[in-house]
A and B are shown apart, each in its own frame.
Chain A
């Protein structure tokens, strides 16, 4: 039953996309956090996807699922704002915020949610086809 594998393939993709959505959520939640006592502000994170062959035969390229290979941190410097009255201001009166770009994260979020929907639709179609196959001959 080669179509049963669609649930593995699309399921792995949906789970990878939901992990991406999770990372976007934590980035957006930390968009306005300032540097803690260690002077290190929150760094934006990003997931990287990787193909994972998941057929019964390991060389089978027709069953290519997805997995999250790495979660990398954006190393660019955080936003610095001059605000001497802020409790977290440094000696020069600057406050370091996290380096999250809210616009980029929103785009990332929309892309992840669309990809998630695509995979769910693929699974729905595969499910209805399989159910029709089960009714064959009746």
Chain B
């Protein structure tokens, strides 16, 4: 019974944690806008959310099968990096840096708004549950 109350909250919590991870990813891209040779990363959000909520098949994962293999890292929220992709550069750069500042700024603003939206969803969900509990 309580499961059903908190199921939608769980989903939004996963989405919020992924949003904050994407925010950090875009912040890293913006921070490295002048670093020679830096390759911009982008997150496949739909795939990441599917994996985090267990709704979809996880993408092909790397496994360390021999002692010499580099261990496969996992994100701070437990998600894997398999949803991270390399952003394709729209213009080539002399120092092989592929950060497109316009796109990163747009993604950053987009992610900010969607993070706030998720926050409001959670807030409204809590409020609904509370008013159902108090019954007034």
Contact = CB atoms under 8 A, between A and B. Distances in A.
B81 A3 contact: no
Contact of B76 (A13, A57, A112, A115): A57
Interface residues of B, number: 38
Interface string B61-102: 000000000110111110001001000000000000000010
A61 B24 contact: no
A40 to B, nearest CB: 28
B108 A62 contact: no
Main secondary structure of the interface of B (DSSP, over half): helix
Interface in A27-66: 48-51, 55-66
A62 B115 contact: no
A61 B84 contact: yes
B108 to A, nearest CB: 7
Contacts of A20: 34
A-B complex: 7 closest residue pairs judged by Cβ atoms:
A59-B73, A13-B31, A64-B28, A3-B20, A49-B35, A62-B25, A6-B27
Interface of A: 1-3, 5-6, 9-10, 12-13, 17, 20, 48-51, 55-66, 111-112, 115, 118-119, 122, 125-126, 129, 132-133, 136-137
Given A6-B23, A9-B31, A115-B33, 6 more contacts: A17-B34, A51-B32, A57-B74, A59-B71, A63-B28, A118-B101
